[in-house]
């Protein structure tokens, strides 16, 4: 069963890649007392993720902050080394915290895994975006397979209620 509006985000350890480098973070610490936008991509360096999804959040980071968002996070079922390289490639800087869910534990706990084994990619995350206040989901948009509309930065920003 997948997470829904009103639910609390799963509590666990993830690897965060930010301006301080790569480090372990507890989700409850990351989301506590904050208005957070979290978006998930099926994989770092994949075409839609690299050409549209992450760049949209980077381009709109200031607008999210202006609406009261404390933190923008991107999560993928990739290891911290891949997420760090992708952050450098995309020139993320301090605009987005990159979260590595290398074993898909967070993704499975969210109920939003996507089995791409037949395509040689293993278990990945569905493409989605959510807004959470103090770790509680206030908005959730999950894309249909192959979709890229409701989780775009330009769509998500209209659902921020500061």
Q: What is the pLDDT of residues 60-110, one digit of tens each?
A: 999 999 999 999 999 999 999 999 999 999 999 999 999 999 999 999 999
* Residue 2 located in a structural domain: no
User: What one-character DSSP code corresponds to residue 33?
Assistant: T
Answer whether residue 97 is part of any domain. yes
Could you tell me the pLDDT band of residue 6, with boundaries at 50, 70 and 90?
Answer: very high
Please check whether residue 7 lies inside any domain of the structure. no
Beta bridge partners of 118: none
Residue 132 placed within a domain: yes
Task: Enter the tokens of residue 119.
Answer: 């395509």
In the block, which residue shows the tokens 């973070």?
25
59 has a pLDDT exceeding 90: yes
Q: How many domains does the chain have?
A: 1
| pTM for the predicted model, two decimal places | 0.94
Mean pLDDT (the chain, rounded): 92
Residue 94 lies in a domain: yes
Identify whether 73 is part of a domain: yes
Q: Can you tell me the distance from the alpha carbon of 126 to that of 157, in angstroms, rounded to the nearest whole number? A: 20
Structure tokens at 106: 């967070």
Q: What is the pLDDT of residue 48?
A: 87
Is 140:40 a contact under the CB 8 Å cutoff? no
Is 49 considered catalytic here? yes
Give the mean model confidence (pLDDT) for residues 16-42. Answer: 93
Is 3 within a domain? no
Tell me if 1 is assigned to some domain: no
Kind and range of the H or E run holding 61: helix 61-66
Q: Residue 133: which of 65, 11, 27, 35 has the closest Cα?
A: 35
Pick the catalytic residue: 17, 25, 35, 49?
A: 49
First to last CA, the chain: 28
Domain CATH code at residue 95: 3.40.30.10
Q: State which residues form the domain around 24.
A: 13-159
């Amino acid at each position: 069963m997948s997470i829904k509006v009103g639910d609390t985000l799963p509590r666990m350890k993830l690897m965060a890649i930010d301006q301080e480098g790569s480090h372990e973070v507890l989700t409850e610490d990351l989301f506590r007392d904050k208005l957070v936008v979290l978006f998930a991509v099926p994989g770092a360096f994949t075409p839609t993720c690299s050409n549209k999804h992450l760049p949209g959040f980077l381009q709109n980071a200031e607008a999210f902050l202006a609406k009261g968002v404390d933190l923008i996070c991107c999560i993928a079922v990739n290891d911290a080394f891949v997420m760090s390289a992708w952050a450098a490639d995309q020139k993320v800087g301090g605009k987005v915290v990159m979260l590595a869910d290398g074993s898909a534990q967070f993704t499975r706990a969210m109920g939003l895994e996507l089995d791409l084994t037949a395509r040689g990619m293993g278990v990945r995350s569905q493409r989605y975006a959510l807004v959470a206040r103090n770790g509680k989901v206030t908005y959730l948009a999950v894309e249909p397979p192959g979709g890229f509309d409701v989780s775009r930065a330009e769509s998500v920003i209209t659902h921020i209620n500061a």
